[in-house]
Amino acid sequence: MVKGGMNNMLKKVQQMQSQMVKLQKELENKVIDVSTGGGMVNISINGKQEVLKIKIEKDVVNPNDIEMLEDLILSGVNEAIRQSLKMVEDEMRGVSGGLNIPGLM
């Protein structure tokens, strides 16, 4: 009886692993869009935390205030990464049944 229980558990783990591999591939195609500065800087990032696009409105480009533009880009990229990581964590939690598996997320 113990052996049967162990086999069932191993099957469930293999199934969960397969679902996670599939989910990781799907997350590559999920895109989060973040804007800062009232829409002056827009950043697109995927579920692998790869920045796909940065769009900067002409009005925010001021050669005399490069630091403001740098700050807008930096805050936008950091927020995009935070949102992407949260999306991944939420999706993985669904696959893992809420288990917190170290190194998984």
Asked, for residue 32, whether it belongs to a domain, the answer is yes
Domains in the chain: how many in total? Answer: 1
Residue 20: domain span: 2-96
| pLDDT averaged over every residue in the chain | 87
Residue 85 in this model has a pLDDT that exceeds 90:
yes
**Do the domain assignments include residue 104?**
no
CATH of the domain at 20: 3.30.1310.10
Task: Please tell me which residue, 16 or 67, carries the higher pLDDT value.
Answer: 67
Percent with pLDDT over 90 in the chain: 56
C-alpha 41/C-alpha 32 separation (Å) is 14
Domain assignment present for 101: no
Report how far apart, in Å, the C-alpha atoms of 90 and of each of 13, 19, 63 are: 19, 14, 41
Question: Is there a domain that residue 63 lies in?
Answer: yes
Separation between Cα atoms, residue 80 and residue 98, nearest integer Å: 24
Query: Which of these, 17, 19, 28, 22, lies nearest to 84 by C-alpha position?
Result: 28
